[in-house]
Amino acid sequence: MKVICIGRNYSDHAKELNNPVPSKPMIFMKPPSALLVNNKPFYYPEFTNDLHYELELVVKICKNGRHIQPSYAHKYYEQVALGIDFTARDLQTECKQKGHPWEIAKGFDGAAPISDFVSLYNLNRTAIEFELHKNGTIVQKGNTKDMIFSIDQIIVYVSKFFKLQMGDIIYTGTPAGVGPVVIGDKLEGFLHTKDEILPMLSVEIK
């Protein structure tokens, strides 16, 4: 399975990192070994001094497809989760300055905590709200209606290059409010359903 990630998909986040707003989806991948499931603790890696959280809505692909057409894209996902795109910001900055790929900054072991998946049935499909709490305080609030590229547009674009296969997952980008974590912090992700705010993800930094 593939873990596909989209960068800079909310203009308020692109601005906070002084990045241009992209004209096409920006794609990178994490290896499946980056996934951290079942709310397991995350161990702060020794190779960074500036680890940042990025809470993102994650989509699971439910059938195989290549060159998916816009009017069919919605048929390729039925479930979503919340995930954190952990980023060693210091390493990423160094990679960007040198024009190097940034896998070591985003694809390391445990860099992709992910919740269980829930059905889209109980969500507002075109405006899914989610939020991240750090030590009990809200630090990120997102709504998929503010995405630069919608989930359907991402699926269309990604499938031009990569065959999408059942079980692949897509991290769809983070809204503004990213920031550092330190050992001892607790991150909690919540998803707004039609009738409740659902705790989805809880990660302790050890």
Binding site for Mg ion (CB under 5 A): 54, 85, 174
Question: Nearer Cβ to Mg ion, position 53 or 76?
Answer: 53
Cβ density class 102-140: b for 16+ within 10 Å, e for less: bbbbbbbebbbbbbebbebeebeeeebbbbbbbeeeebb
CB under 8 A, 24+ apart: contacts of 146-150:
146/10, 146/11, 146/12, 146/175, 147/9, 147/10, 147/172, 147/173, 148/8, 148/9, 148/10, 148/11, 148/14, 148/21, 148/22, 148/173, 149/6, 149/9, 149/25, 150/126
Q: For the residues of 155-172, what is the DSSP string, one character each?
A: HHHHHHHS-B-TT-EEE-
Q: Which residue is nearest to Mg ion (CB)?
A: 85
* CB 170 to Mg ion: min, Å: 11
Q: Which is nearer to Mg ion, 65 or 191 (CB)?
A: 191
For residue 16, the minimal CB distance to Mg ion (Å) is: 12
User: Least distance from C-beta 4 to Mg ion, angstroms?
Assistant: 11
Which of residues 61 and 105 has its CB atom nearest to Mg ion in the complex?
A: 105
Nearer Cβ to Mg ion (24/67): 24
> Least distance (Å) from Mg ion to the CB of residue 198?
21
CB of 189 to Mg ion, least distance (A): 14
Nearer to Mg ion, 54 or 152 (CB): 54
Tokens read off for 181: 């974590």
